[in-house]
Amino acid sequence: MKKEYFVDDYEKLVAALKSVEPIDVAMSKAVGGAYEIFGHIECLVLEQHGLANGMSVFDFGCGSGRLSTALSQKWEIEYLGVDVVDDLLRFAASKAPPHYRFLLNHGLSIPVPDAFADICCAFSVFTHLRHEDSYLYLTDLVRAAKPGGRIIFSFLEFADPNHWTIFTDTVAARRQSVLPHLNVFIERNAISRWAAHLGCPQVAFVDSHDPRWGGHALGQSVAVLTKPAA
């Protein structure tokens, strides 16, 4: 069976990094570098939107575990991480508590039950997918969230001047035929429209340089959807 474009792209990226870098460096670069800093910021985002001990977190596109590592250092939660690259999942699991679970998934749907988690998140995932695929996954994330739960994801937007260099770097790579992976921008009005169609009209946005992150930048903006309570 032919792999989806995002599986093939990511597997090639991870393999290339592993061939030239020590494993810790390769696993950090595979998720954008600054492993501890970005994990800390992602954890802060969840905290600022309701994370509490005893909750369940579904981390879609968990990569090599920067969020799961940060969460395990501070919170007592149930955790499931899903990704498309087995090497990343094994590394993430090696740094996580034994009760954290990790799952390989290549499909365009998410294999979890309805109302599965208090918080469903996807950091640096929709930034590398075509819009129709992001919408399919977002539909499933809304389904997987508990009533009253949060769906949190990061995105790139042209309105943020800090994201413009990502676009120009992608253009330059495309011109040289060395594009490493797809970079996709989603504007806030599109996200609001998607959310309304999915029954989650309450949407909050967080800028990529939120002052609550202690002077660090996530490098992407964040959307927070709230699933209506039953």
Q: What is the mean pLDDT of the chain?
A: 91
Q: Can you give the CATH number for the domain in which 69 is found?
A: 3.40.50.150
For the chain, percent of residues with pLDDT exceeding 90? 70
DSSP code, position 33: S
Which residues lie closer than 8 Å to 38 by C-beta, 6 or more apart?
A: 31, 32, 66, 123, 218, 219
39-50: per-residue pLDDT in tens?
A: 999 999 999 999
Q: In the chain, what's the furthest Cα-to-Cα distance?
A: 52
Alpha helices (H) in 112-157, listed in sequence order: 131-144
37-87: per-residue pLDDT in tens?
A: 999 999 999 999 999 999 999 999 999 999 999 999 999 999 999 999 999
For the chain, percent of residues with pLDDT exceeding 70? 97
Q: Which domain holds residue 107?
A: 5-226
How far is the C-alpha of 53 from the C-alpha of 148, rounded, in Å? 16
**pLDDT of 56:** 98
**pLDDT of 9:** 83
Q: Closest Cα to residue 52, out of 150, 139, 155, 125?
A: 150
Give how many domains the chain has, as a whole number: 1
